Structure 1
Amino acid sequence: MDKIRGSLQMMCRATNGGWAGMAATQGMSLTALENRVYARKGQEITVSCAMAMQSASGTTYFAEAVAQESGGLFIRLPTAEAVGAEDIQEQFIQMLEKAGEFAAEWRRATADDEVSKREKRQLGSLATDLCRHVHEILHTTFKIFCKQDA
């Protein structure tokens, strides 16, 4: 749950006006917001409030934290409505480049039969980026080639 609390704190810092700005967007005092974020005296942020905070901060910190706490990964999908087959081709090229980076880093990291903390973080970051690209390709493909329900 530390990741979720951390996401709430990061959303407050990311909001214009910081914590005070976030409190104002949520219609509460700064003290009330702090009490909920830090779970003082049994107070807590509801999911709907966390989603509103995420929207106000213009981030995806809460979604990312929930995904991580659940053993998963949050992937923001492209929102552009006007996509074409050329976009998918470009996404494939980028995905292959990321796969190459991942493979090269994996070889470097495992060459000595031990993966350090730094190497683990780097591999995790590259794997996340690669996974994100694969899902972006799927999303774009479905937008272009799937028949929409009437």
Structure 2
Amino acid sequence: MMCCATNGGWSAMAASQGISLTALQNRVYGRKGQEITVSRAMAMQAISGTTYFAEAVAHESGGLFIKLPTVGDLSAEDIQEQFIEMLEKAGEFAAEWRRATADDEVCKREKRQLGHLATDLCVIFRRRLHQVTRLEGCCAVGS
């Protein structure tokens, strides 16, 4: 996916790595025991402008990769809007939880929906915390 996301595709990715297209394909597809090293995968991720490698590592580790936003100039209105967004998402999760558990049984569809909402909520909370704690003068400790 990183190769496809790169401007110029597989050929451009191979050239950026200083290897032939065939050599890159052999490593990506694990032909004859070849593989992509972590440092090469990190370089490929940077070149492609994606987070696919980080997402895969997080997933394989049983976690979730959350790309944190850059902290620019946030106004009080921006922070308030983002806080309201968090509350709305929490309310959406709570409502879905009530619907899903009303019959004392959570089916696969309900479990999947709750999982998506929980992930969205986690991402929103983590991103907002990152932004707020990076604001100048926000925190005396750890800023």
Asked if TM exceeds 0.5, the reply is yes
Aligned to 2:105: 114
Identity %: 75
Unpaired runs of at least 5, structure 1: 1-9
More displaced 10-residue stretch of structure 1: 117-126 or 45-54:
117-126
Structure-2-length-normalised TM-score? 0.85
Q: 1:33 aligns with which of 9, 13, 24?
A: 24
Larger Rg: 2
Q: 2:139 aligns with which of 112, 126, 146?
A: 146
Aligned to 1:4: none
**1:134 paired to 2:107:** no
Cα separation, partners in 2 of 1:17 and 1:114, compared to 1, 3 Å = farther
Structure-1-length-normalised TM-score? 0.81
Which one has more relative contact order, counting CA pairs under 8 Å at least 6 apart? 1
CA contact (8 A) 2:45 2:53 kept: yes
Q: Secondary structure at the match of 1:91?
A: helix
Q: Secondary structure at the match of 2:66?
A: coil
Q: Which amino acid aligns with 1:81?
A: G
Residue correspondences, number: 140
Cα separation, partners in 2 of 1:137 and 1:41, compared to 1, 3 Å = same
Tell me how far apart the structure 1 counterparts of residues 60 and 50 of structure 2 sit (CA, whole Å): 18
Aligned to 2:34: 43
